[in-house]
Amino acid sequence: MREVSADVRTLKRLKIAAFMLLIFGAVVGLRLFQFQIIQHDQLSAKSEQQYLRTLKLEPRRGTIYDRNGKELAVSVSVNSLYANPRETTITKTSTNRLAFILGTSPEELAAKLRSPKHFIWLWRKIPPRKAESIAALNIKGLGVVKENKRYYPKRTLAAQILGFVGTDNEGLEGLEYMYDAYVGGEPSLVLVKKDAKGRNIYASRRILKEGSKGLDILLNIDETVQYIAEKELARQVAESRARGGVAIVMDPHSGEVLALAHQPSFNPNSFLDYKPARWKRSAISDAYEPGSTFKIVTLAAVLEEGLAQPDEILYAENGTLVVAGKSYHDVHNYHWLTTREVISKSSNIGTIKLGQRLEPDLMYRYIRNFGFGSKTDIGLPGEAKGLVRETEEWSGVSLSSISIGYEISVTPIQLITAYAAVANGGHLVNPRVVRGVMKEGRLIKEFPGLPARRVISDKTAEIITSILKEVVTVGTGRTAAVPGYDVAGKTGTALKFDIELGAYSSSKYVASFVGYFPADDPRVVILVLIDEPKGSFYGSEVAAPTFSRIASQVARYMKIPARNNLLIAAAPDTDKKVEGPAKKGEEISNIFKRIDRGLKKLLVKAVSPLMIPTKGKAASYRTNEDSS
């Protein structure tokens, strides 16, 4: 009996246990139903979030090269330091050390690390050595992510052209801004699975959005020519204690801009250390009254229309001419001048008299034909059109003033383009800074520019060139002469209009010189503009010598044949002459046979030199070379 009751009790217990299990099973079943059926989508998405991760792969910004493939702007990977304040454990000593490396105060850093956020940047794009120092501190909760940083290895060189980028690698200025769509690239979005250790499982990789690497940009700018132009411009601006300056070097046939130099300059690696005014490209964005350099437009118009002859004589009114109540003066008082002399001596009165032979509408047409009043479409942001008023707005003195480069505003790039038209035989070309876009070393897109259009005849261009040569040989531009070359050019000295005074300033000038060489077969056209020089302010004293220095170095660098000569080299302290003329196309080695051995070595050493060894050093050069 006792045994039966024990079994019944056990059975009862088992039944209760079975019931409990059933309840438990039912609960589990219901939960399963809830998870698997009702909340399936929501929970599966949540679980995917834990092992799937979308990676945003930032594209590397393309490189900017000069015309010879030298890197002017490059991107490299650097670390950016972040902290997870909720996980960061840091001692006071470590805080002090980290604050010292970061260049901040320990209190400020501590406050940052007390933030309730999960992620804060401590230093974006940190220099590699600093990153190493921070890693050595071994602070929990700090981490680094790779980001691309833009560097400009040539520092201030062509800074205004290149521009710069922001923290997130977006183009903010210059070419970086203008060609951002090409050079910036597109980020990719990739979905990857992570394993338990957080490692990417490559096999599961799925591309959500196909990105693209930034394309490279190939410029027409030549690093060496740009350097020469910047160096000589900086020297002149410093000597003249000027407000600034511009120098442009351009191929007159193609419109390729070889150099576009500005002073003062800035370092785009640390652009925030400079005032925004320095970032400006004055060569294309600042319009100014050009003064005498504009006289070639008047000259071109009267010659093209047959209203003047080069050797025709004009009376220069002994230095003073009154037009509609306004007096015009020459620097020197002249009586009778030929048309050639009017330009070579830069007579305002002679030029006004030539200009008065034109109807205002005709003068206006020539001005516009030469590209003034329109953007040149150089391919840089912020280009100005200049100011060319319609003839209806001209006063009684406008034609006279405009003839000599007043009452009109032009940009330096417009002016040099007009001179290029004369230099190349009458075609107005489109100045271009960028040659094209490259991908993996191949040019995939070119920017050839607008087609050239004829503005004056070949004959008129030839006459103007012959007159401009006289400017440099016997006229106001003698200081622009380049030994061994025929140079054609024009000086300009213009008073600046003072907006505060509402009148022309008596002390602020713009000195300029625009010219090209070799005059009969021009390879380069160069503009030099010095803004507000102190002391000497004439274009002939300030800008023309700078032109000469730039031109002579560019000639050697570009191996431009001199006047009926082949420029070979420079040799130190020698008065030896080469015997007999070389034949056209003759091998240089044959020419060298007629030169003594010592000189030959130096010539070989110094082919196309910008610099040569001094006398003492030359001897050691020879010794080293012989011994090797």
Partner 1 sequence: MKSYAARTRNFPLIVQIEWDKIFAGLELKKFLAYVIFVTCFLMGALLYLWPHMQLLQNGFQYNGLQVHKERLLDENRALRLEFSSLNSLDRVERMARNELGMTTPKEGQIVYVALESTGKNER
Interaction between residue 211 and partner 1 (CB under 8 A): no
| Residues 109-148 interacting with partner 1 (rule: CB under 8 A) | 128
Interaction between residue 51 and partner 1 (CB under 8 A): no
Q: Of 84, 572, 604, 622, which one interacts with partner 1 (CB under 8 A)?
A: 572
Rounded to whole angstroms, the Cα distance separating 440 from 443 reads 9
Interaction between residue 191 and partner 1 (CB under 8 A): no
Of 89, 122, 129, 124, nearest to 104 by C-alpha is: 122
Write out the two tokens for 20.
């409990």
Q: Of 448, 535, 576, 587, which one interacts with partner 1 (CB under 8 A)?
A: 576
Please say whether the beta carbons of 391 and 364 come within 8 A: yes
| Shortest reach from residue 253's CB to partner 1, in Å | 10
Please say whether the beta carbons of 60 and 165 come within 8 A: no
| Shortest reach from residue 4's CB to partner 1, in Å | 11
74: three-class secondary structure by DSSP: strand
| Shortest reach from residue 89's CB to partner 1, in Å | 28
Where does this chain touch partner 1 (CB under 8 A) — which range of 220-228, 394-402, 427-435, 537-545? 220-228
| Shortest reach from residue 255's CB to partner 1, in Å | 17
Burial, 593: exposed, middle or buried (Cβ in 10 Å; 0-12, 13-18, 19+)?
exposed
Q: Of 583, 597, 627, 628, which one interacts with partner 1 (CB under 8 A)?
A: 583
Interaction between residue 52 and partner 1 (CB under 8 A): no
b or e along 274-287 (b: 16 or more beta carbons within 10 Å of the residue's beta carbon)?
Answer: eeeebbbbbbbbbb
Cis peptide before 561 (omega within 30 of 0): no
Q: Of 575, 593, 597, 628, which one interacts with partner 1 (CB under 8 A)?
A: 575
Which H/E stretch holds residue 517?
strand 503-517
Where does this chain touch partner 1 (CB under 8 A) — which range of 179-187, 289-297, 316-324, 581-589? 581-589
| Shortest reach from residue 53's CB to partner 1, in Å | 13
Q: Of 81, 321, 349, 603, which one interacts with partner 1 (CB under 8 A)?
A: 603
Burial, 143: exposed, middle or buried (Cβ in 10 Å; 0-12, 13-18, 19+)?
middle
From residue 167, alpha-carbon distances to 81, 150, 153, 621 in Å are 14, 9, 18, 48
Burial, 375: exposed, middle or buried (Cβ in 10 Å; 0-12, 13-18, 19+)?
middle
| Shortest reach from residue 306's CB to partner 1, in Å | 26
| Shortest reach from residue 615's CB to partner 1, in Å | 9
| Residues 336-395 interacting with partner 1 (rule: CB under 8 A) | none
Please say whether the beta carbons of 465 and 519 come within 8 A: yes
Residue 333 or 620 having the CB closest to partner 1: 620
Interaction between residue 582 and partner 1 (CB under 8 A): yes
| Residues 501-560 interacting with partner 1 (rule: CB under 8 A) | 520-521, 523, 553, 556
Q: Of 67, 70, 213, 508, which one interacts with partner 1 (CB under 8 A)?
A: 70
Can you name the residues that pair with 438 across neighbouring β-strands? 216, 443
Interaction between residue 264 and partner 1 (CB under 8 A): no
Residue 524 or 530 having the CB closest to partner 1: 524
Q: Of 104, 200, 356, 505, which one interacts with partner 1 (CB under 8 A)?
A: 200
Residue 194 or 389 having the CB closest to partner 1: 194
Write out the two tokens for 494.
């213009």
Rounded to whole angstroms, the Cα distance separating 510 from 495 reads 6
Residue 195 or 498 having the CB closest to partner 1: 195
Of 582, 575, 551, 556, nearest to 567 by C-alpha is: 556
User: Which residues are within 8 A (CB) of 527 and not within 5 positions of it... i.e. 6 or more apart?
Assistant: 246, 247, 248, 412, 415, 416, 419, 512, 513, 514
Residue 8 or 26 having the CB closest to partner 1: 8
Phi, psi of 129 (to 5 degrees): -65, -35
Residue 332 or 576 having the CB closest to partner 1: 576
Q: Of 564, 589, 627, 628, which one interacts with partner 1 (CB under 8 A)?
A: 564
Interaction between residue 596 and partner 1 (CB under 8 A): no
Interaction between residue 570 and partner 1 (CB under 8 A): yes
Residue 327 or 628 having the CB closest to partner 1: 628
Cis peptide before 264 (omega within 30 of 0): yes
Q: For residue 434, how far is the Cα from the chain centroid?
A: 9
Where does this chain touch partner 1 (CB under 8 A) — which range of 11-19, 174-182, 243-251, 501-509? 11-19
Write out the two tokens for 72.
């002017």
Q: Of 101, 134, 510, 571, which one interacts with partner 1 (CB under 8 A)?
A: 571
Q: Of 12, 40, 86, 199, which one interacts with partner 1 (CB under 8 A)?
A: 199
Q: Of 154, 295, 353, 601, which one interacts with partner 1 (CB under 8 A)?
A: 154
Interaction between residue 313 and partner 1 (CB under 8 A): no
Interaction between residue 500 and partner 1 (CB under 8 A): no
SS (H, E, C) 124-155: EEECHHHHHHHHHHCCECEEEEEEEEEECCCC
Q: Of 76, 135, 207, 208, which one interacts with partner 1 (CB under 8 A)?
A: 76
Please say whether the beta carbons of 512 and 293 come within 8 A: yes
Rounded to whole angstroms, the Cα distance separating 193 from 574 reads 75
Interaction between residue 604 and partner 1 (CB under 8 A): no
Q: Of 151, 394, 447, 497, which one interacts with partner 1 (CB under 8 A)?
A: 151
Q: How many CB atoms lie within 10 A of CB 321?
A: 21
| Shortest reach from residue 47's CB to partner 1, in Å | 19
Q: Of 203, 272, 499, 501, which one interacts with partner 1 (CB under 8 A)?
A: 203
| Shortest reach from residue 464's CB to partner 1, in Å | 17
Q: Name the region of 82 (left: φ>0; alpha: ψ -120 to 50; beta: rest).
A: beta
Of 339, 380, 367, nearest to 470 by C-alpha is: 339
Q: How many CB atoms lie within 10 A of CB 356?
A: 17
Interaction between residue 302 and partner 1 (CB under 8 A): no
Q: What is the DSSP-derived secondary structure letter of residue 12?
A: H
| Residues 224-243 interacting with partner 1 (rule: CB under 8 A) | 224, 227, 231
| Residues 605-624 interacting with partner 1 (rule: CB under 8 A) | 606, 609-614, 616-617
Residues that bind partner 1 (CB under 8 A): 7, 11, 14, 18, 70-71, 74-77, 128, 151, 153-155, 157, 199-204, 223-224, 227, 231, 483-484, 520-521, 523, 553, 556, 561-562, 564-576, 578, 581-584, 591, 599, 603, 606, 609-614, 616-617
